[in-house]
A and B are shown apart, each in its own frame.
Chain A
Amino acid sequence: MASTSGPAGQARGGVQRARQISADHEGFLRHRRFRWLKLASLLCLAAILAYALVDVQPRPNGGSWLGYTLGTIGAGLIVWLSLLGLRKRTMTRGAWSLKAWTSAHVYLGLSLIVVATLHTGFQLGWNVHTLAYVLMMLVIASGIWGVAVYAALPAALSANREELTREQMIEGVRAVDRQLHAAAQPLAQDEAALVRAALEESLFAGGLVARLSGTWRRCATARALERMALAGPGDEAADRVEKLLIRRKAQLDRLRRQMRLRALLEVWLFVHVPLTVALLAALTAHIVSVFYYW
């Protein structure tokens, strides 16, 4: 890591500091020696202490003064955390850099687990208040998944690519396809139909389940290969087609591994973002309903 000069170096002054920031390659999790982790832990600790020490009668409740305080902090945090969606569109540096913001987003988001749970006073039920709580927990869980896959998957993604760009991978399949098309010309119609089905299949077929699980059940290339193999050794043309199909299948497999990794890497946002907006709606309903029936 480039910035190993420590706090003494950081305190030395403007020029060095600026250089340090520009050469700073530490991730958003370790940002500024876990500054936001520490602040978020402090917030959790304060909330837990207050919950333990304040004697709310007859039992801890979101409607006590402590409950309202924790709720206000929680609601403020949720609104601020959701603003990352706007903030991320402008990248800046410095004390309020996007990296600092993201770091705070992760750790303060996690601290919501403590703050909001204590706000509930462990009173949950089938109501809009618990709906908001559950949505918040789902958003946090998907966020944890997101942080985990961002740490784990990019290496696998780049290993699977083997230095190829996306266009190169697709062009590889297309090259095999052109050869297959030519090689399949002498085939009988039933075999030609198998090859045609394989050629006509979209490279990006497969929905959410197929992509996440990595099982492409209705793969036309695999089926063509299977049938050709079942038919046994054929003439020279059939053998050539079979070899080309094997090549196509290998290329397709790599493409699909890439698609699976991409799906695992990206799926959390399809939970995180819509559920955040749903959470904001539920939070609005939660707060308005409390004051409506005040």
Chain B
Amino acid sequence: MTFRLRTVSTTADGRRIVRDRDVANDVLTVGRAAENDIHLPDLAVEPSHARIALQPGGRVAVEATGTLGFALDGQKLRSAAIDPRTGGELRFGSTRVLVGAEDGAVLLTIEPLANDSEAEPDEDGMALAAVMPGKRRLAWILAGLILALFLALPIASNLLRAPDVKQSHVIGDGSWTPGPLSLAHHQLEGKCEACHVKPFQSVRNETCLSCHKTVHDHAPAARLAMARAEPGLGGKLLGGVAHLFGKEGPGACMDCHREHEGMTRIPPPAQQFCADCHGSLKDRLTDTKLGNAADFARLHPQFAPMIMADPGAGTLRRVSLDAHPRENSGLAFPHKLHLDPRGGVAKMAATLAGEKGYGTNGLACADCHRPTEDGVRFKPIVMERDCEACHSLVYDKLGPTFRKLRHGDLDQAIADVTVAGNTTEPLVTGRARPGVRRVLP
């Protein structure tokens, strides 16, 4: 038996060239070195790669002579035996050797595998686009993510929420908040739907009033509307645009009380809010008794405090500060005396300091004038609370208890003192009644 080597090669234009060569040897060597019977100029093939030998019985033995081995029908092996009549496909590097039988000889068809790596890519490999994901794909992914997370999700969640605000829960609208709510509304943080009730509808006054139930209008609505100054050209334009976008119009809560401005107290409305009407109020509300006020500091009618004009009859009267008003309350109460840090009052206050909480430098305003609970105004002075620490009303002592005058109720006080048995000498002597000037001897 002999070997028949059939070499198949392909020309550049795709034509196949087949050459047959019979070799009388019983053993063939395969390798990259030129002296091999099957010479494969392939760097993936060892200089001496394998030997193929005829065996008695017509079989062909293949044995690796180097370190790399070969593949038989896709399986990596170092030695194998093939029956040429059934055939087999050997692979060395990038060359395929088909084993078969022809005319009593063992036919080895040697064919290089098609080499894909030789083909240059059509696109420009030097361009960055060759190694980057497409711009269009990136763009769609990013835009899709943003629209899904920041638009579709909150809207869907808002539309499908429970109708009751207490139970409703909208997912994803946290990304919509333009800033934290004020301290007063802080507990509504994340409950956007509490104020933004209906999609695409501005926050309504009625929504504010559903919580702020006791807030009343500054004046009857009709008079407010009459008092409001006609806006200028710019104001009209802005008002028109705001109306176009569904804002409620002048006087809406939101116009002055701005939200989402940070976690502080809601800033008080600017004085422009007052001046819009009061700046030229007399022009429009002719029956008003109020003067025009466009600015608290500069364009305000003189303040006219209410003062006691006649203490006996209790008549109160407003007098302009320009007229240098002096109150006649019937009381002789010198602030100067009470606040003198070196006078007798200060001394008395210092001795009572520990017990009553007075400062050691005499009295301060806050020792007598107490703020109201809401911290906005002051409570009226009450003798028992604000004065009695120094000005005792005690006139008698009965065992461990003290008898006190009823302050401000003269008749009652006289009755008390007359009816009750006067036990001892008066506690205080030589003291005039309040409001009555003592005539010195």
Contacts and interface: CB of A to CB of B under 8 A. Distances in A.
A249 interface: no
A47 interface: no
Interface of B: 32-34, 41, 43-44, 46-47, 66-68, 117, 120-121, 124-132, 135, 138-140, 142-144, 146-147, 150-151, 154-155, 158, 173-179, 192, 196, 199-203, 238, 241, 245-246, 258, 260-261, 267, 269-270, 272
A283 B82 CA distance: 71
A110 interface: no
A208 B68 contact: no
Contact of B125 (A128, A184, A203, A270): A203
Contacts, number: 160
A57 interface: yes
Nearest to A58: B267
A129 interface: yes
Given A185-B32, A189-B47, A275 B142 contact: yes
Contacts of A65: 238, 241
A291 B151 contact: no
A23 interface: no
Contact of A273 (B46, B135, B177, B179): B135
Report the 10 A-B pairs with minimum CB-CB distance, sorted nearest first. Answer: A204-B125, A277-B139, A274-B138, A278-B142, A281-B143, A196-B43, A58-B267, A293-B196, A274-B139, A266-B128
Nearest to A266: B128
A264 B43 CA distance: 37
A294 B44 contact: no
Nearest to A193: B43
Contacts of B120: 170
Contacts of A189: 46-47, 66-68
Judged by DSSP, the binding face of B is loop
Interface of A: 57-59, 61-63, 65, 123, 125-129, 131, 166, 170, 181-182, 184-189, 192-193, 195-196, 199-200, 202-204, 206-208, 211, 255, 258-259, 262-263, 266-267, 269-270, 273-278, 280-282, 284-285, 288-294
Contact of A289 (B151, B201, B267): B151
A274 B147 contact: no
B171 to A, nearest CB: 14
A270 B128 contact: yes
A80 B131 CA distance: 30
Nearest to A204: B125
Judged by DSSP, the binding face of A is helix
Nearest to A270: B132
Contacts of B140: 277
Contacts of B202: 294
Contacts of B46: 189, 192
B43 to A, nearest CB: 4
A259 B272 CA distance: 64
A282 B146 contact: yes
Contacts of B147: 281, 284-285
A60 to B, nearest CB: 11
A289 B154 contact: yes
Contact of B151 (A192, A203, A206, A285): A285
Given A262-B128, A263-B128, A266-B127, A289 B143 contact: no
Contact of A208 (B131, B146, B179, B246): B131
A294 B201 contact: yes
B143 to A, nearest CB: 4
A127 B178 contact: yes
7 contacts: A58-B270, A63-B258, A186-B33, A189-B46, A192-B46, A273-B135, A277-B139
B143 A280 contact: yes
Contacts of A129: 178
Contact of B246 (A196, A258, A280, A294): A294
A211 B125 CA distance: 12
Contacts of A123: 178-179
A202 B139 CA distance: 29
